[in-house]
Structure 1
């Protein structure tokens, strides 16, 4: 089998936020004083220049600004970065360009600026429309500001946006979770990310769990009822925690989940690139701390590490992503993205099928209803012994 380069995305990490949320395990740092955005754009472009030889001649299909809080960065800096990036890389016509935004940083006029810069999709970190839940989560916005931010974006011409909502929050019951969705539906997003609060290692919540987190049974009840509400409102589930109107799935995340390629630039950013000349897959990540990143960007010192993904690990990495998709994947895609024949995973597929976890039909693989409850166990089968 030959390993052919898949679609390419560009991920841009903006590491600062107003305040670190107690549940957040992303590389985010509380901004103090005036943030060095001009210097950071220079660093991002230098970082991109260093990585360009990995992707010569390839077209970027999607761009995603994540964080941290990318909407802390004024539009003129987003514009300068996108102009610099598109001068270095070919952007596909209609390239999806997403900016994560915190409703607490929304200002009148900013969304017009982002749209003029080329951003055509927004992702709002709402998390809840209940002010008590928001306070317990450490968010800097309230429900009124959340709705106002979405209204401002609509007035600026954005018709493609995601709302992030969490459930099984401290102090939340089923009725509150359902009310969150009703408030979200009223804003008519094209996409909703709906996921359960988890206590991630090395977070404040992991060290000091908040009181009132729903138990497993209530969490499951919330999930099932909310999934039914989302379906009834016209949002089709296409991934574990992603729901979209027809044709409005997040192309950037779909590229991750189908084991596509992505350049990762910015402090702490991770990338995965298929190298055609030797048919290898390279993972590269950048140093996490903004101060060190600013000092070293564009030099080898900014690279936190390079790792070639061994062929034996590729099935696990592929499944870790592709089995998140509700519709599963074609075995032909597995072969294209890993460079391995489907025969290498046939014994594992047979075992998982025998346990009732997978359905394999006409060269297509998907999790069963039972398998979705044991996704981690299914994926673990593909780890090398």
Structure 2
């Protein structure tokens, strides 16, 4: 593990503005989000490549809370005085935490950071751990948005995915969440093992019947270092998957949802603000094992990563010597252009060209050659006022994004 290396304060650029190696500083810092990683789960799903760890018995809740406080307190100098726009509890399975633990975490955030009373606070929950009293407790603690990992309403498909809940538990969890908070997201997957188009459509129709405000509809992919990568199931082919994706989008949009990002659909006023901040290249402080951060200063932008293993992270964070941060690097010009476009191009409407300048401190000239190539290929809309994929570019998003790889 690397020691935390502090990036030295930059010398003023030749024009008097703060900068690193001549790069102009940011005129204003972007919005800041907080991500809290809860690493434990009851069962590791065969498709999951997230930093999640099966836990037999109770999770070490008090040790986790103490380490989380130590992690946050050591991060405060990097974000001091900045207002927090959103909070997201991800995992793993955050709903393994007690309502009291979530209350303590949110209270800690309010005590140490500028967190507005109406800030969006999302908690991911597994239907297999859903309890009405716990959801109500989360809401009382300050959670105002619950994201449920449903994945499917088909019991056979849930078994193939290694989920610990069944369709009946999924439906009950949705109703519990809706009684607890006003904003509920359902995660659903398609192109599942041996799934037909009819089964895919039925899953989406069942999700729509609950009339939640947000849907996340993902294509199942075989990620490296997962059980599915080692033992691939029989999945729909590319042509079948493309038909499913088009049908999923059509059903959601016909029900009043706007597809505003590749996998995200929202009713009016229900867009996930936390994820929008990611896609618009905002800042986020990630605390917890394996959490990543992107933090802007006037003269530089850095990325950090915490120790992945829960026990190691808890021990190192509480030593308060910065060793729980195992990676820290400053983004260079090429990194900035690519990472901005990697995120912004996921949005259906793209972003204003001025946002690139505002969030990176660079001129659009830095990515103009790549933009011209993408326009020539029919993947990017022409012009500098708005950076937006064409319908073809959105369908072949990886190809478009790779144009900006330094």
User: Fold match, TM over 0.5?
Assistant: yes
Contact 2:178 2:184 in 1 (8 A): no
Corresponding residue of 2:315:
295
Deviation of 1:154 after TM superposition, in Å, equals 2.1
Deviation of 1:225 after TM superposition, in Å, equals 1.0
Structure 2 residue corresponding to 1:245, chosen from 251, 267, 271: 267
Task: Report runs of 4+ in structure 1 exceeding 2 Å deviation.
Answer: none
Corresponding residue of 1:196:
219
Asked if residue 90 in structure 1 is aligned to residue 114 in structure 2, the reply is: yes
Contact 2:190 2:219 in 1 (8 A): yes
Structure 2 residue corresponding to 1:209, chosen from 213, 224, 232: 232
Per-residue CA shift, 1:293-348, capped at 9, x if unaligned? 11111431211110111122100000010000000111100000110011222222
Paired residue secondary structure (2:119): strand
Distance 1:326 1:368 in 2: 9
Distance 2:385 2:108 in 1: 43
Asked if residue 104 in structure 1 is aligned to residue 128 in structure 2, the reply is: yes
Structure 1 residue corresponding to 2:205, chosen from 182, 185, 190: 182
1:37-116 → structure 2 map (5 Å cutoff): 37-116=61-140
Structure 2 residue corresponding to 1:166, chosen from 179, 186, 189: 189
Asked if residue 327 in structure 1 is aligned to residue 349 in structure 2, the reply is: yes
Corresponding residue of 2:301:
281
Structure 2, unaligned runs of 5 or more: 1-23
Contact 2:51 2:92 in 1 (8 A): yes
Judge which range, 289-298 or 17-26, deviates more: 289-298
Corresponding residue of 2:175:
151
Per-residue CA shift, 1:43-69, capped at 9, x if unaligned? 111100011100111000000000000
How many residue pairs get aligned? The number is: 380
Corresponding residue of 1:383:
405
Per-residue CA shift, 1:131-160, capped at 9, x if unaligned? 00000000000010000011112223x120
Structure 1, unaligned runs of 5 or more: none
Contact 2:25 2:300 in 1 (8 A): no
Distance 1:136 1:173 in 2: 14
Distance 1:109 1:255 in 2: 31
Distance 1:126 1:266 in 2: 24
Paired residue secondary structure (1:54): helix
Question: TM-score, normalising length from structure 2?
Answer: 0.92
Contact 1:13 1:68 in 2 (8 A): yes
